[in-house]
Amino acid sequence: MHDVPPFEGFSQETFAYLRDLRDNNDKDWFDANKERYIEHVRTPAVSLVATVGMQLQDHFPDVHYDTRTNGSGSLMRINRDVRFSEDKSPYKSNIAMMWWEGAGKKMQSPGFGLQITPDDAGLMAGMFGFDKAMLTQYREAVVDDERGMSLVQAVTAVQSAGEYTLNGEHYKKPPRGYPVLEDEREPYMRYNALWVSAMEIPPSAVMEPSFADYCVEHFVKMAPIQQWLAALRV
């Protein structure tokens, strides 16, 4: 991982490639433009994975990152899994990567994420979805007086640190079989995921070498929610 070159920013060509892929989403076009993908998307993305990963580990030593490009690492596959999707386009017209905490798979672990689209970028911290076991752990933590109130405090800390959006509310009513909450914890019983996001980051920011520092700065501000979730896995 340590032989990856330092991140120097994405480029206008990165966004041009993503726009072109969005408009020409087929295997023939992708194969003909593979060198563009490697040079302007994959190579800087791997550098960003490593640069952000090393900086995140200074703050959160248990965070993992992986520079492999086969889909097993932090960088998500650009190929779309069309088996269960209405969208049968073979490729994603975005760049996505994760830094995660814990021994589980990256998409099933609390972590930090970045997505770059043809138009802008977004950051996230937390979990996009809970499996059955995690949902039970989460709900038991929310109804626990100490841990439930620490979640409320974590959300307050994040929302006080910047213009971040809380996501994950899914159910209209709290689940059966749990105590009825009548304080600030009550809304969180309706969540089946929990993450905070910062969206509409302009391409100009993404093209700067300092974008790695930008990501880490925001991830640290968003981290109280991610860290609360990570503590459930201990």
34's CB contacts (< 8 A; 6+ apart) are none
Q: For the chain, give the percent of residues with pLDDT over 90.
A: 92
pLDDT of residue 38: 98
- In this prediction, residues 69-81 reach a mean pLDDT of 95
pLDDT in tens, 92-108: 999 999 999 988 889 99
Give yes or no for residue 151 having a pLDDT over 90.
yes
Beta strands across the sheet bearing 95-101: 63-64, 95-101, 111-116, 121-127, 191-201, 165-169
pLDDT of residue 82: 82
pLDDT of residue 234: 65
Taking each helix axis from N to C terminus, what angle separates 211-232 and 145-161, rounded to the nearest 10 degrees?
A: 170
pLDDT in tens, 54-63: 999 999 999 9
Give yes or no for residue 1 having a pLDDT over 60.
no
Question: Exposed/middle/buried for 19, CB within 10 Å: 0-12, 13-18, 19+?
Answer: middle
185 backbone φψ class: left, alpha, beta (φ>0; ψ -120 to 50): alpha
Give the span between the Cα atoms of 224 and 220, in whole angstroms.
8
Cα–Cα nearest to 21, from 71, 98, 80: 80
- In this prediction, residues 179-189 reach a mean pLDDT of 96
Q: Is the dihedral of CA 2, 9, 98, 217 positive or negative?
A: positive
Give yes or no for residue 132 having a pLDDT over 60.
yes
pTM for the model: 0.95
Cα–Cα nearest to 1, from 69, 102, 87, 71: 69
pLDDT of residue 210: 98
Domains annotated for the chain, with CATH where assigned, are 12-232 (3.30.930)
Question: Exposed/middle/buried for 116, CB within 10 Å: 0-12, 13-18, 19+?
Answer: buried
Q: What is the CA radius of gyration of the chain?
A: 19
Residue 2 has a CB neighbour count (10 Å cut-off) of 6
